[in-house]
Amino acid sequence: MKKWKFLDENWLAVLTGAVIFFVCIATFVNHYKDFASDLVSGIRTGRTTFSETGLNCIKPVIAGLEEDFSKNLYGNKYAVEIPGLFNRLMNKKVTEDPEARYTVYKMSNHQLTHNYTGYDMTDYAENYLKFAAEMKQIGIPLLYVQAPFKINKYNNELPYGIKDETNPLSDSFLEMISPECDTADLREVIHQEGFDYSSLFYNTDHHWTAETGLWASSVLADELCGRYGLELDTSHLSRENYTFTTYKNYMLGSQGKRTGMIYSGLDDFILIEPVYETKYHLQIPKIKLDKEGSCSETLLFEQYMGSNFYEDDPGRVYTGDNYALMVIQNLLSSNESKILLVKDSYSKSVIPFFASTCKELHVIDLRVYKHSVSGYAKENGIDCVVVMYNPSAVVRPEFFEFQKE
């Protein structure tokens, strides 16, 4: 009786304490090795910087530990649903993020987007122009392709009072490079074709859909054939060459994971597989992958088809992760063309379709690739280099480090 009376009077304190201790213990049990290793590496770094910064060297260690703890907090992936519900009830259009560039805006078409502001494209343009000069010297054509962004340049549906800051950044970059370099702007093509803009993108993710990737690969192939007279097989790039399997309400994209699915809803996921015969040899040195098979066996990573909304990312079905280097040989190619694609994550849903057009498709991601791109192109006898970025990549310096050695 005494025990029940105690609980009856103190259940709030007991339950609150239980939640706090549970999260504390679960977090440490799951991640104590990560915290320990962060602490050790922080101390090592601190030791080396102590002579310059004095006791200030402790601050980054503390900041790093705190950030890691917050990121690995037990249940944080799921807890986002509660503020998401609250935000939905309040009809909030803006979900702030500790990292300002990841603040999520809900557009009037109910799609979520980020909006990048305050970047100066000058250095990036200079790096690109240097790279372009190198490519000109070695005689390999270079094309910059501007992929579209979720915010429609011609009809942004951002919340009232929020300006589109992202498309102007790409505009400014293109303005700086286009006098000396070949460029193609898919945003203009989309605008001219009069597409239903929001249908090109996922609602809850920052990427375009795989169907848009298929369309983009056809536009890209046409550009390369038209501009540089390359022999590319474009016969497989129309919709009738593929099956489209729709998984309804299957995916919670990157932006939806930040706001919670109660706030954002879910996306359908469409798996696009070729009906024509395919045979590829895929090499990904970073993960020591070397295999041969059909498109579905090599370029579609169906192990990522999981439906855990918080853990899985079905978008990775299309060529997996962002690897430093991928080499795809089309063993049924009717031409000898070799293309190097310098990519961001948008290109993942272009690669499985574009690979059918040429003999070899080499794919580099500058976020992880640590060597000279022009050197690679020269060594591997590349016929044409394509750099294709979406506007959110245009603001990241690592995408423009073409000359790393």
Partner 1 sequence: MVFSSAIFLFAFLPLVLLLYFLVKGTERKNTVLLISSLFFYAWGEPIYILLLIGTILLNWMFGRLVIRENPHRKGWLTAAVLVNAGVLFVFKYLAFVCQNLNLLIGRSGSNSPVSIALPIGISFFTFQALSYVIDVYRGNGASQKKIKNVALYISLFPQLIAGPIVRYQTIAEQIEHRKTTPEMIRTGVRRFILGLGKKVVFANNFALAADAVFGSDQQYGSLVLWIGAIAYTLQILFDFSGYSDMAIGLGNIFGFEFQENFDYPYISKSVSEFWRRWHISLGSWFRDYVYIPLGGNRVSSKRHILNLFIVWLLTGIWHGANWTFVVWGLGYFVILVTEKYLKLDRILEKKLWVIPHLYTMLFVILGWVVFRSDSISAGWQYIAGMFGGLVKRADEWILIREYMGEYAGIFLLSFALLIPWHRVFHLKKHFYRVRILASDILCFCLFLLSVAYIMKGSYSPFIYFNF
- CB 20 to partner 1: min, Å: 5
Any idea of the CA torsion for 340, 344, 348, 350, to the nearest 10 degrees? -60
Q: Which stretch binds partner 1 (CB under 8 A): 3-11, 128-136, 171-179, 270-278?
A: 3-11
Using rule CB under 8 A, residue 39 touches partner 1: no
- CB 76 to partner 1: min, Å: 4
Parallel, antiparallel, or unpaired for β 338-343 and 360-364? parallel
Which of positions 293-332 make contact with partner 1 (CB under 8 A)? Answer: none
| Collapsed DSSP state (helix, strand, coil) of residue 24 | helix
153 vs 257, beta carbon nearer partner 1:
257
Q: Which stretch binds partner 1 (CB under 8 A): 58-66, 170-178, 316-324, 349-357?
A: 58-66
Contact call for residues 364 and 374 (beta carbons, < 8 A): no
Parallel, antiparallel, or unpaired for β 182-185 and 142-146? parallel
Binding mask 62-101 for partner 1 (x = CB under 8 A): x--xx--xx--x-xx--xxxxx--x--xxxxxx-xxx---
Helix (H) or strand (E) holding 261: helix 261-264
Using rule CB under 8 A, residue 168 touches partner 1: no
Using rule CB under 8 A, residue 231 touches partner 1: no
Cα–Cα nearest to 255, from 265, 246, 247, 245: 265
Using rule CB under 8 A, residue 48 touches partner 1: no
- CB 194 to partner 1: min, Å: 27
60 vs 141, beta carbon nearer partner 1:
60
8 vs 196, beta carbon nearer partner 1:
8
Contact call for residues 261 and 309 (beta carbons, < 8 A): yes
Cα–Cα nearest to 200, from 266, 166, 150, 249: 150
CB burial of residue 335 (10 Å; 0-12, 13-18, 19+): middle
Using rule CB under 8 A, residue 21 touches partner 1: yes
Tokens 């050695």, residue located: 405
Q: Which stretch binds partner 1 (CB under 8 A): 8-16, 312-320, 321-329, 337-345?
A: 8-16
Contact call for residues 374 and 402 (beta carbons, < 8 A): yes
Using rule CB under 8 A, residue 110 touches partner 1: no
**Site size toward partner 1, by CB under 8 A:** 47
Tell me the C-alpha distance between 345 and 399, whole Å. Answer: 11
- CB 98 to partner 1: min, Å: 5
Tell me the C-alpha distance between 53 and 57, whole Å. Answer: 6
Using rule CB under 8 A, residue 137 touches partner 1: no
CA angle at residue 156 from 152 to 159, to 5 degrees? Answer: 140
Tell me the C-alpha distance between 401 and 75, whole Å. Answer: 37
94 vs 129, beta carbon nearer partner 1:
94
Tell me the C-alpha distance between 182 and 187, whole Å. Answer: 16
Contact call for residues 209 and 270 (beta carbons, < 8 A): yes
55 vs 287, beta carbon nearer partner 1:
55
- CB 191 to partner 1: min, Å: 25
- CB 9 to partner 1: min, Å: 7
Using rule CB under 8 A, residue 54 touches partner 1: yes
Tell me the C-alpha distance between 100 and 107, whole Å. Answer: 17
- CB 87 to partner 1: min, Å: 9
Which residues contact partner 1 (rule: CB under 8 A)? 6, 9-13, 15-17, 19-21, 23-24, 27-28, 54-56, 58-59, 62, 65-66, 69-70, 73, 75-76, 79-83, 86, 89-94, 96-98, 159-161
